Structure 1
Amino acid sequence: MRALVTGSAGFVGRHMVVELRRRGWDVQCCDIVDGLDALHVFTFERDRFDLVVHAAASSPHRAAIDSQPVHFARNVQLDAAMFDWAVRTGQGRVLYLSSSAAYPLDLQTDPKWGSLVEDAIALAAVREPDAVYGWAKVTGERLAAAARKAGLPVTVVRPFSGYGADQTEDFPFRALVERARRREDPYTIWGDGQQVRDWIHIDDVIAGALAVVESGTEEPVNLCTGIGTSMLDLAGMACEQVGYEPEFEFRLDRPAGVAYRVGDPSRLYQYYKPAVTLADGVDRALSGG
């Protein structure tokens, strides 16, 4: 079995490459940091792959999302080129990594609205998603639907707050853990600390995505745990494991994102159940594993 992984040097991409190879796949990597632009591949590549994992994206972290809207154009360009190429060349199946940012903003303002279910996104009548990154992912899902109608098998997954020990500090989990490791005092948190996220370990993101691929379902599937934890509680968990009690300083002038984003894992549970708890994930990150 042959796979192409775009964005193979990124956080999700490199974990996907490792897992596919562990399962015996022949994997071709593609990442601009390694000198191979995905747009070049989508122009000239004619080989057929059993699976195309499209993880290439332009700076999908909060600061870039909020301050550099040009990433919208770059991400849409990447997605459109990929789907056009996959249809033209008859690729086996595409795994499209959408995002929980695609969900309507008005459902992420208060816990009373509950967990986000896949059907909350109606591609025929899209409600405003989270920032330009959310718009890019909604657009990508519409491209996926069009490609599916053209005969291309497409799997769409929506990862929530994926995390792991080898993320950069551009992402909140690693930033919060590293501040604890450095025993910073005061300990800075962007926003008021009450923003709630559904944290899912990268091992479960990869295993869950591949389980959905294997199912062959054409429905979008959340990659989530269904458990909400605030930024402040995550910071407190990391500080407790390190063994100190800092003063928390809340930076209301920094990008904080939506108030409440937790996924409904019911559909995912048909194919896979996440195995790594957040406490275990924090421990792994602090121990370097």
Structure 2
Amino acid sequence: MTGGAGFIGSHVTDAFAADGDEVAVLDDLSRGRPGRVDPSVTVFNAAITDADALTEAVEQAKPQVICHLAAQIDVRVSVDAPAADAAVNVVGTVNLLEAARAVGARVLFASTGGAIYGGGVPVPTSEDERPAPEAPYGTAKYCAEQYLALYNRLHGTTHAALRLANVYGPRQDPTGEAGVVGIFCGRALRGERPTVYGDGQQTRDYVYVGDVAAAFLAAARTETPGVWNIGTGRETSVLDLIDVVGQAAGRTLEPEFRPARPGEVLRSALDSARVRADLGWSARTTLADGVREVYRWIEAGSPDRA
């Protein structure tokens, strides 16, 4: 599990361990927190950009499946430093594919559904739509997907990519720049107003982290290669999300409006019909239930092991 001490990765780690699998984590701990990982899990402190350390860890663990969640995840950072973004998200993925090939491991890659399709596509968007990312981050993720497909053709592997919608849940930093559900819940708890850029009508597909972990489990239980959207298929506007957070907080929240940010996709939701047909997976957590879990987690002090 690369990135297994991160927000999503730690939940995926927990899901596999709870299902009876032996799990090892590789994380450089630049964003990950060791406290999120169960003490029984082996943790290798290494970066995917360090090919030698990565290869050594993979050879020691000898995994059958590697869930690859280590990444540079900030779209704005990718715009400011596209080469650095590609070094992690493209070259780091190639490093992992080579390490996996040496031990015969299958790779399940955490790609992006929110940043890979771009604007002007039907919503909800299916995997048949041609990717047209509007930032280096989405471009790098798509490039990494192409390397997975290349290795499948070249080496007969069965690697797969999971294109994640906007993932939210406990363990996502409520004080950071990304993760609007956690940010809004944190502001609500502090008695602050949520900040809305633009008119608040822009939409996203919010998928709960526990459902995402279940998707990785479902993908690991098959040898089928593929590219799958992992989302709810439902659009939620920023203003509607504020209402849901207000319900969790027990009071009405009044947003503070600021100018729209240039280049922001106005509508986004993922069609997950293919993953339902191929893997039998679908998102089960309602937005109201998931937001309540986030609110309670922050209210409890944002513990690493919620």
TM-score normalised by the chain length of structure 2: 0.82
Q: Secondary structure at the match of 2:119?
A: helix
> Which shifted more, 144-153 or 60-69?
60-69
> 2:156 is matched by which residue type in structure 1?
G
- Could you tell me which residue of structure 2 aligns to residue 163 of structure 1? 168
- State whether residues 116 and 141 of structure 2, in contact with CA within 8 Å, keep that contact through their aligned partners in structure 1: no
2:254 to 236, 240, 247: 247
CA distance in 1, matches of 2:205, 2:260: 23
Q: How far off its partner does 1:192 sit?
A: 3.0
Q: Which runs of 5+ in 2 are unaligned?
A: 35-44, 298-305
- State whether residues 67 and 216 of structure 2, in contact with CA within 8 Å, keep that contact through their aligned partners in structure 1: no
- Residues 1:144 and 2:157 aligned together: no
Q: Provide the aligned length of Structure 1 versus Structure 2.
A: 273
CA distance in 2, matches of 1:189, 1:102: 20
- Could you tell me which residue of structure 2 aligns to residue 133 of structure 1? 137
Alignment of 1:210-289 (within 5 A): 210-252=217-259, 254=261, 257-270=264-277, 271-288=280-297
Q: Which runs of 5+ in 1 are unaligned?
A: 122-126
Going from structure 1 to structure 2, the CA distance change for 1:199 and 1:129 (only over 3 Å counts) comes to same
- Residues 1:49 and 2:67 aligned together: no
- Could you tell me which residue of structure 1 aligns to residue 12 of structure 2? 16
- State whether residues 52 and 91 of structure 1, in contact with CA within 8 Å, keep that contact through their aligned partners in structure 2: no
2:27 to 27, 31, 42: 31
Q: How far off its partner does 1:41 sit?
A: 3.5
> 1:190 is matched by which residue type in structure 2?
Y
The superposition leaves residues 152-203 of structure 1 with CA deviations (integer Å, 9 ceiling, x where unpaired) of 2212111101110220133212112212222214x31234322211111000
Going from structure 1 to structure 2, the CA distance change for 1:16 and 1:41 (only over 3 Å counts) comes to farther
TM-score normalised by the chain length of structure 1: 0.87
> Which shifted more, 217-226 or 234-243?
234-243
Q: Secondary structure at the match of 1:207?
A: helix
CA distance in 1, matches of 2:75, 2:189: 22
CA distance in 2, matches of 1:106, 1:254: 15
CA RMSD of aligned residues (A): 2.1
Q: How far off its partner does 1:36 sit?
A: 2.2
- State whether residues 166 and 204 of structure 2, in contact with CA within 8 Å, keep that contact through their aligned partners in structure 1: yes
CA distance in 1, matches of 2:47, 2:159: 22
